[in-house]
Amino acid sequence: RIAEGSAGPLTGIPLAHKGVFCTEGVLTTCGSKMLANFVSPYDAHVVSLLKAAGAVMVGKTNMDEFAMGSSNESSWYGPVRNPWDPAAVPGGSSGGSAVAVAARLVPASTGTDTGGSIRQPASFTGITGIKPTYGRCSRWGIVAFASSLDQAGPMTRTVRDAAISLGAMAGHDPKDSTSATLAVPDFEAVLGQGVRGLRVGIPNEYRIEGMSQEISDAWDKGIAILKAAGAEIVPVSLPHTKYALPTYYIIAPAEASSNLARYDGVRFGSRVMEEGDNLNDMYEKTRAAGFGAEVKRRILIGTYVLSAGYYDAYYKKAQRVRALIAQDFKNAFTQCDVLLTPTAPSAAFGFDYKPSNPVEMYLNDVFTVPTSLAGLPGISIPGGLSKDGLPLGLQLIGNAFCEESLINIAYTLEQAIGFNAKPERIAA
């Protein structure tokens, strides 16, 4: 095709898709026993677009079950290991896609991000990941977790590759009613425009207590680089930040409990039914056997917050707080063009880290969840290495549908940081 002159922007580029994307004729398991034998009869819209752009799918990647998690440990197929240190988690839920890129198996992979699942694993594995604005990429054919938050995006080694891949994945799709009708800009064209005169906001509330010195140092380095490149640094306030995690962990499980109701043994995936069982027996046995502990926990929480008597106190309240969080960003973007923050509060943690309760694990999402609740785009790029030699990510957050400025600024940062470390095993 290249010789013929009919090549697309990704002709011949090997690509891996997260196990959440439907791929015609190939297993789509979503990291779950429930879908262990599920073969989709069609491709997700973004999968079709990438195919049309010339990319060649070489495989599907492991992930946290139904995209719920921050460490990839909730997959029914077992955890993904981090190539920087096999004793460390790769982040989640798009951990398999992150590692496929970090370990140089493929130059690009797809991920989905509901509360951080592209950005946090990108941060933990030293690669680049973009969560576009909600509506930029079609959700059609992506196994739904929390539909008002789910977005697809690319995971790559460089900002340029992310720009090219996002260009191929984005665009209006009439099959997704929340898909934006905007034209797709040439994201690659903005690389190198520079940041002179741009205003970069630094949210006060992201200097959280207990943040490690190395994260704080990487953040300060990013600030200094953008300042030296001609950007104006503006302190801003996002006062409702502290409510983002509790809000997310009501809304996401609520939507998940509704979305996952379809796995009942009738239409999708596995069915457990014994001689003499009635319909309810089948539902109960199928769901008990097919879902793992984290998925069950979310379904229970979600069902609870949506139930009569609790709906107003939890779900409706969370929706109101979500609006306030979105308003915080609107206010901030009257003072600045983009926000710079760390991606995650730590480097990749070890498999030996055992949170004393599930909420401790949820704290990982503290810097990524607010953006998701507001539907805004965010990108994570490598900001440096921790003292243990693990990657640390920096996040840029943009206004709605301003991926171009996000990509341009990320590129300036990337060029100045010059991150060229590789996992030791890969370098050898």
Hey, which residues does 355 pair with through a beta bridge? none
| 68 is an interface residue for ligand GLN by CB under 6 A | yes
Q: Give the active site residue among 75, 109, 117, 380.
A: 117
93 is catalytic: yes
**Crossing angle for the helix pair 403-417 and 159-169, nearest 10 degrees?**
160
Applying CB under 6 A, the span of 8-16, 23-31, 62-70, 325-333 interacting with ligand GLN comes to 62-70
Tell me the C-alpha distance between 389 and 32, whole Å.
32
40 is catalytic: no
Question: Alpha-carbon Rg of the chain, whole angstroms?
Answer: 21
Q: How far is the CB of 303 from ligand GLN (least distance, A)?
A: 17
| 252 is an interface residue for ligand GLN by CB under 6 A | yes
| 71 is an interface residue for ligand GLN by CB under 6 A | no
Site pattern 123..162 for ligand GLN (x: CB under 6 A): ----------------------x-----------------
Q: How far is the CB of 325 from ligand GLN (least distance, A)?
A: 16
Closest to ligand GLN by CB, 54 or 370 = 370
| 398 is an interface residue for ligand GLN by CB under 6 A | no
Q: Position 206: which residue type?
A: Y
Residue number with the smallest Cβ distance to ligand GLN: 117
| 67 is an interface residue for ligand GLN by CB under 6 A | yes
Residue 242 · residue 209 · CB < 8 Å = no
117 is catalytic: yes
Q: How far is the CB of 144 from ligand GLN (least distance, A)?
A: 11
28, 117, 165, 408: which one binds ligand GLN (CB under 6 A): 117
Applying CB under 6 A, the span of 63-71, 175-183, 283-291, 387-395 interacting with ligand GLN comes to 63-71
Omega of the bond prior to 93 within 30 degrees of 0, cis?
A: yes
161, 173, 188, 365: which one binds ligand GLN (CB under 6 A): 365
User: In this structure, what are the phi and psi dihedrals at residue 354, rounded to the nearest 5 degrees?
Assistant: -120, 100
Applying CB under 6 A, the span of 67-75, 262-270, 328-336, 407-415 interacting with ligand GLN comes to 67-75
Task: Please name the residue that has the structure tokens 């741009």.
Answer: 198
Applying CB under 6 A, the span of 109-117, 278-286, 339-347, 411-419 interacting with ligand GLN comes to 109-117
Taking Cα atoms as reference points, which of 300, 213, 206, 204 lies closest to residue 245? 206
Q: Give the active site residue among 18, 33, 51, 60.
A: 18
Q: How far is the CB of 201 from ligand GLN (least distance, A)?
A: 23
Note the residues at the interface with ligand GLN (CB under 6 A).
67-70, 93, 113-117, 145, 252, 365
Residues designated as active site: 18, 93, 117
